[in-house]
Amino acid sequence: PLPPCLPIFLHPLSSSSLSPHLPPPLSSSSLSPSTPSSSSSPSPSFSPSSPSSASFLIVSIGGDHGGSDLCCSPSLHHRFTKKVRIIEPLLILLRNCTYELSYELVNFFAFKKCFVNLDPGPLLSSVSLSLTSFRMTFCGIGCNKYVEANISQKSRTTVKYTMKTLASIAETIIFIFLGISAVDKSKWAWDTGLISCTLIFIFVFRALGVVMQTWVLNWFRLVPLDKIDQVVMSYGGLRGAVAFALVVLLDAERVPAKDYFVATTIIVVFFTVMFQGLTIKPLVNWLKVPRATNRKPTINEEIHERAFDHCLTAVEDIAGLNGYHHWRDKWEQFDKNYLSKLLLRKSVYRKSELWEVYQKINIRDAISVIDQGGNVLTSARLSLPSMASRASFPEVTNVTNYLRENGSGVCLDLQVIDNVPGAKVEEESETHHFLAGNLYKPRRRQTLHDSGDHERQDREIFQRNMKSRMETFKTTRHKRHSHKKDRSQKRGSDVKEQDLNDKPRRNVSWQDKDPVVVPVESEDEKGEHLEPEKEEDVGITFVARKVPDTPKERPKSVPAGLEVCQSPSMAPPSPTCSERNLPWKGGIGTLPVCVSMEATKIIPIDLQQAWNQSISSLESLASPPGPVEPLHPRVSALSRLGGQRPVSYSGSGVSGSGFGSRGAGSIVAQGIARFEFPPGGEEKEEEEGALSDQEQELQPLMSSSVRPPGRRRNPCVYLRSLVTAPPPGSEPLARSRGPTQL
Amino acid sequence: MGSTNSTLSKIPNVEELMQETGFTPAHIVRLYDRFEALDKEKTGHLRPQDFGAINRLAMNPIGDRIIGAFFSPGQETVDFHSFVRILAHFRPADKKRPKDPSMPEPVNSRTSKLKFAFQLYDQDKDGKISRAELLQVLRSMLEMQVTEEQLESIADRTIQEADLDKDDAISFEEFRKSLEKVNIDHKMSIRFLR
């Protein structure tokens, strides 16, 4: 079974070795089955009954013509495959096959007729074999450029990897056979003399051949090949699978010494592949051969190299030399004016190579920037939110695909990267916020599953507001914990708008772990402040009371609030009911701000707005990739209430309530007043007025993207500010006006 | 060859020329023939119009800059010596040249080649390639194939890549540095047929 199988494997191997470029020309079954009169050489025109010499002529001429004809047709075919991209790889891989097979079938019989009686049959068949392979090679080389330009990137990849796979499969199988033959004594016969002489000769004659050819070539070369190049070339002659396959294909009847040849070839293959193959690398290192450096292409080099080419062409023209550049330039003109117009698709034809290079460089840079968490702005003003994590495959894929398709628009704003210190941290916190905002929604829904369906919507509004209030009062840590718990609840529905679908889960965990952005708050703190809070309030003893007093209040208030929320531990339904009777509707103190565990999990709408604001801020390019802008003056105010992180917010309008620097506090106070908190005293002023103020402030808050992007804020601060809850009362109200926010 | 010698004798200061540029006598003779072919009016000097007569040069995007490079600033004509000297820039560098610091930099060394190329870009001779100059070159090279704003983004990116001292222009040193990995000897040499 050995010989018949080999040709099949040799076919793709030879094709890939013959043609390093895409698409590789598929050489026909050049080593076709071992019949004496086999290997008909395809030729477009054949005459079955021509004499042998005429057949030979036809073979050779047909070889050349067939090559050029076949060269044009693949390219032409591919020019029209834009709408049917899926068949491009098939066309490439199969076209030449089908041509070859059809020709061969037709010519096989012709040859058989001519050669069956002639002895030179084998000779001619081998000649025609080589002609066939030449034909296919030149066809491939010729049409490579056009076909490659016409087909899509995916088709290119497909063809490339198909051929590589086939080649490596073929090579592997051949080597398996080689190994089997080596072990199987019946297949070979040992002759020491032949083997040793062969080994010596392959070295000697190869070196000789290289030296002679180099000597001839150096007459014509600009940069002559020096000794080291010649040494490497002669030492690098590895004989492998092809040699073995050929020798096994020998016909034992015609070549009685086949077994000796097989043995010799096996030894030669072993020797060259193993010994020479293993030692060539140390040799190259020892000789200090300059290696090819894998350098990043720069647009500078491209431009200047092109300019040099033009320059040299001009100089050659001036000096009257019809040199290399002169002819090359002539060919390029011809190609541009005639061939490309005919063979290339219109959209491809118009592209300039320099522009292509530029795009590639840009895309490469943009991708690496995104991977590192930078920001890329396209000329289409679509800002791509930075991907903080390398693990975000879907996003990166989208981004990179987008960039690949629309490379022309990508304009890497390096300034942005340079000016943002610690961008990664900021990006992480930013995405954290976004996710938190988006995570929120599904959770909310889930926690409401116990309530009825219709009133749920109303309740949801209130509940959301409540929850958002609760949320901001909590410590980060607690939030983290609750998030952790929540995440398990939240399944499926990922309301994440765009492409951060995987982020929510991931980032939540990140956020939980991140000690940098969020200050770690000790349980002790939480605990100790809980008591005083509880004493003072029956209902939700939010920090509001404490907040204006001490700088440390905020974080503590959060735990306090949290604890308070937890203490009632009501089931979801109750909160909703209580939320219904929100303070501004009436009573004071009756509201059990009950924030159950679920409530704590809700992320305030603030984040939602934060997200939108950040988007707009990113788009504006004015602000480096920072976290959401000081979106809510309320939030900022709250952070100020907390006081630990002095955030200088201009508090647009928030401070209007009269707090001055504590403007936010008033809002908080106001909000808290809604919940009947005994605020630090300022709450009185607000019952209604504050409400309206708050509503006004909250309105834009709710309605996202209305707020002008504020000042850039330290992400840490922002996060903390989230912790301080905006007055829950006001929020629900505003919520009711803008339920769509959620 | 007889004709070579007779031609050589017609050229003044041949020895010095050969010494300076490194051309062989055969090269010089060939170039002289070419010079005479271009110099239709036999004035012994070439004018820009003579260069313009070369048809293929008109199609070259930077053809006019090359022609300009032959003429030293202020000069209207090129004599044979300058002609040869400029062309000598494009000779392949001699690898075996002993590194003699006292001798002036040979005309076909890497640095000289780069300087020549730099002058192609830097038309106003201020020692820097400004963005406008770069845009001009790009425009002439790419012409109809890309839009103006694409050209500008390429130019911006080029300057960004090469400009190390942030002066929004490329000086000769920066130019050289950006091309340090390119085999200039290969890219800027033509083979003068023997």
ipTM comes to 0.90
Closest residue on chain B to A349 (Cα):
B145
* A138 contacts: CB under 8 Å, gap ≥ 6: A25, A67, A68, A71
Backbone angles phi, psi at A329, to 5 degrees: -65, -40
Q: Do A298 and B59 touch (CB under 8 A)?
A: no
Beta bridge partners, A269, equal none
> Which 8-state DSSP code applies to residue A384?
E
Least confident range from A38-47, A277-286, B6-15, B87-96: namely A38-47
Write down how long chain B is: 194
Q: Which helix (H) or strand (E) holds B169?
A: strand B169-171
User: Cβ distance B179 to A320 under 8 Å?
Assistant: no
Nearest to B154 among A319, A350, A358 (CB): A358
User: Cβ distance A360 to A409 under 8 Å?
Assistant: no
**Interaxial angle between packed helices A153-183 and A258-270, expressed in degrees from 0 to 180 and rounded to the nearest 10:** 120
Q: Which residue has the tokens 């044009």?
A: A72
Which residue ranges of chain A lie beneath pLDDT 50?
1-50, 378-397, 399-400, 405, 407-420, 444-451, 482-538, 540-583, 585-603, 621-742
User: Cβ distance A559 to A426 under 8 Å?
Assistant: no
Q: Distance (Å, rounded) from C-alpha A114 to C-alpha A52?
A: 6
Q: Distance (Å, rounded) from C-alpha A369 to C-alpha A365?
A: 6
Q: Distance (Å, rounded) from C-alpha B194 to C-alpha A517?
A: 74
Contacts of B49 in chain A (CB under 8 A): none
Closest residue on chain B to A305 (Cα):
B187
Q: Distance (Å, rounded) from C-alpha A412 to C-alpha B161?
A: 12
Closest residue on chain B to A221 (Cα):
B191
Beta bridge partners, A557, equal none
Which of A12, A6, A63 lies closest to A40, judged by CA?
A63
pLDDT at A117: 54
pLDDT at A374: 66
pLDDT tens digits along B183-194: 877 788 887 754
Q: Do A352 and B142 touch (CB under 8 A)?
A: yes
Indicate if the alpha-carbon torsion angle A285, A286, A291, A293 is positive or negative: positive
Helix segments in A218-298, DSSP class H: 227-235, 241-248, 258-270, 277-286
Nearest to A305 among B92, B160, B182 (CB): B182
| pLDDT greater than 80 at residue B173 | yes
Q: Do A318 and B185 touch (CB under 8 A)?
A: no
User: Cβ distance A40 to A56 under 8 Å?
Assistant: no
Q: How far is A351 from chain B (nearest CA, A)?
A: 6
Q: Which helix (H) or strand (E) holds A362?
A: helix A353-371
Nearest to B117 among A308, A318, A408 (CB): A308
| β-bridge pairing A410-411 and A376-378 | antiparallel
Contacts of A325 in chain B (CB under 8 A): 190
Q: Do A408 and B158 touch (CB under 8 A)?
A: no
Q: How far is B112 from chain A (nearest CA, A)?
A: 14
Contacts of B67 in chain A (CB under 8 A): 318
Which of B63, B64, B83, B72 lies closest to B23, judged by CA?
B83
Write down how long chain A is: 742
Q: Distance (Å, rounded) from C-alpha B83 to C-alpha B39?
A: 12
Mean pLDDT of all residues in B1-19: 72
Angstrom CA distances, A127 to A108, A130, A137, A412, A424, stand at 15, 5, 15, 56, 65
DSSP assignment string, B75-136 = ---B-HHHHHHHHHTTSPPPTT----TTSPPPTTSHHHHHHHHHHHH-TT-SSEEEHHHHHH
Give the count of beta carbons closer than 10 Å to the beta carbon of residue B59: 12
DSSP assignment string, A276-335 = IHHHHHHHHHHTTPPPPP-PPP-HHHHHHHHHHHHHHHHHHHHHT---HHHHHHHHHHHI
Angstrom CA distances, A631 to A693, A722, A733, stand at 16, 11, 19
Q: Do A313 and B60 touch (CB under 8 A)?
A: yes
B66, B175, B183: which to substitute to probe chain A, counting the most A Cβ within 10 Å? B66
Which of A424, A432, A541, A533 lies closest to A476, judged by CA?
A432
Provide the token pair at A32.
């076709």
* A200 contacts: CB under 8 Å, gap ≥ 6: none
Q: How does A121-147 read in b/e, with b if 16+ C-beta sit within 10 Å? A: bbebbebbbebbbbbbbbbbbbbbbbb
Q: Do B87 and A318 touch (CB under 8 A)?
A: yes
Which of A269, A16, A316 lies closest to A165, judged by CA?
A16
Q: Do A314 and B63 touch (CB under 8 A)?
A: yes
Give the count of beta carbons closer than 10 Å to the beta carbon of residue A520: 13
Closest residue on chain A to B143 (Cα):
A352
Contacts of B171 in chain A (CB under 8 A): none
pLDDT at A84: 78
Q: How far is A79 from chain B (nearest CA, A)?
A: 20
Q: Which residue has the tokens 């954290």?
A: A432
Q: Do B188 and A311 touch (CB under 8 A)?
A: yes
Nearest to B187 among A308, A321, A355 (CB): A308
Q: Do A411 and B153 touch (CB under 8 A)?
A: yes
pTM tops 0.80, yes or no? no
**The Cα angle at residue A343 between residues A337 and A346, in degrees rounded to 5:** 80
Beta bridge partners, A378, equal A410
pLDDT at A8: 43
Our CA dihedral for A532, A537, A538, A542, rounded to 10 degrees, sits at -90
Mean pLDDT of all residues in B61-82: 81
Residues of A with CB under 8 A from a CB of B: 222-223, 293, 295, 298-301, 303-321, 323-326, 329, 333, 350-352, 354-355, 358, 361-362, 408, 411, 414
Helices and strands in chain A: count of H runs, count of E runs: 31, 3
User: Cβ distance A55 to A110 under 8 Å?
Assistant: yes
Q: Do A317 and B54 touch (CB under 8 A)?
A: yes
Q: Do A310 and B61 touch (CB under 8 A)?
A: yes
Q: Distance (Å, rounded) from C-alpha A563 to C-alpha A596?
A: 10
Q: Quick one: A219 exposed, middle or buried, by C-beta within 10 A (0-12, 13-18, 19+)?
A: exposed
Q: Do B31 and A317 touch (CB under 8 A)?
A: no
pLDDT at A165: 94
Provide the token pair at A122.
């084998």
Which of A139, A156, A130 lies closest to A99, judged by CA?
A139
| pLDDT greater than 50 at residue B20 | yes
Query: A–B: how many Cβ contacts below 8 A?
Result: 131
Q: Distance (Å, rounded) from C-alpha A430 to C-alpha A626?
A: 7
pLDDT tens digits along A231-289: 888 888 888 888 888 888 888 888 888 889 989 999 999 889 888 889 988 988 888 87
Taking all residues of chain B, what is their mean pLDDT, rounded to a whole number?
80
